[in-house]
Amino acid sequence: MDRLTPLPHAYRLARRDAQPSGTVVMLPNGAAFGGETVAICAGPCSVESREQIRSTAQTVAARGANVLRGGAFKPRTSPYAFQGLGADALKLLREAADACELSVVTEVMDPREVELVCAHADMVQIGARNMQNFSLLREVGESGKPVLLKRGLSATIHEWLMAAEYLLVSGNPNVVLCERGVRSFDNATRNLLDLSAVPLLRTLTHLPVIVDPSHGTGLAALVAPMGLAALAAGADGLLVEVHPNPSAAASDGQQSLSFEQFGAFMRQAEVVARAVGRAVPAATFAT
């Protein structure tokens, strides 16, 4: 009888030695996750109107972002909270991004909506609440679109990598991991942003890793410091919430940067990125 030799990791395709040089995930406009230039994904938590998403796209592109983020379908704890504009928001995102030479990343929540979201987005986000929605993981994996996989609210590193394995085993090699904080006993911040996960994952997996300091802290004043720390720790990019008027935002205004704050943050990010041998994207749109 032949003897079976167990593999050293349960995540066979995501493990570091499956691709020692590392994976670089490219989007149509040239945005790269895993290259020398970090990816900067910026935009509102929710798409609220054409004017809101257009002005945000113009501003973040002019300050160096290369991916436009924005929620079309919003998973909210309360059923009475703003749930997003749905399919209309997808069209507005695509329109604003194309006008500013940006790629689009947005969340999909339902396997039945994968085809619709993929028709408008360049990268599909699987949110923290759906990290272990295995039917959704399979459907998104089979779509072939690049995937941004957020860490679950209480997920271990192993569970997160196993979720990535579902995408990889479905035939999709273009997976980016996003650290967005985990729940802790302390409610002083929205989540506990685990920046140690960034250098740790670089030893465990070949997949690019980015950080979301907006959800990771829940406080606008902490977004820039933790975003800069993420770059220093080796993150391949950032996911930052930016809104024209955070105090009037339909969702997550307390953790969103204003246009002025985002501009200041990008100037600092350029310095930190250079210090660790990386670069931030060049501005693609002049206001």
pLDDT of amino acid 9: 67
Residue 8 has pLDDT above 70, yes or no: no
pLDDT, tens digit (0-9, with 9 covering 90-100), for 162-211: 999 999 999 999 999 999 999 999 999 999 999 999 999 999 999 999 99
Residue 2 has pLDDT above 60, yes or no: no
**How far, in Å, CA of 25 to CA of 33, rounded?**
5
Q: Report CA torsion sign: 128, 126, 147, 279.
A: negative
Residue 6 has pLDDT above 60, yes or no: no
**What integer is the mean pLDDT of 41-64?**
97
Residue 2: exposure state from Cβ atoms within 10 A (0-12, 13-18, ≥19): exposed
Residue 84 has pLDDT above 80, yes or no: no
**How far, in Å, CA of 34 to CA of 285, rounded?**
23
**Which domains occur in the chain, in start order?**
37-275 (3.20.20.70)
Residue 140: exposure state from Cβ atoms within 10 A (0-12, 13-18, ≥19): buried
User: What does pLDDT average to over the chain?
Assistant: 94
Position 7 confidence tier, pLDDT thresholds 50, 70, 90: very low
pLDDT of amino acid 3: 58
Cα 111-113-118 angle, rounded to 5 deg: 105
Residue 134 has pLDDT above 80, yes or no: yes
Residue 220, CB-side half-sphere exposure with 13 Å CA sphere: 21
Residue 287 has pLDDT above 70, yes or no: no
Residue 45 has pLDDT above 90, yes or no: yes
pLDDT of amino acid 1: 43
Give 215's contacts (C-beta < 8 A, 6+ positions apart): 128, 180, 181, 190, 191, 241, 252, 255
Closest among 170, 177, 54 to 114, alpha carbons compared: 170
**What integer is the mean pLDDT of 238-258?**
95
Q: Which two tokens stand for residue 168?
A: 């990889």
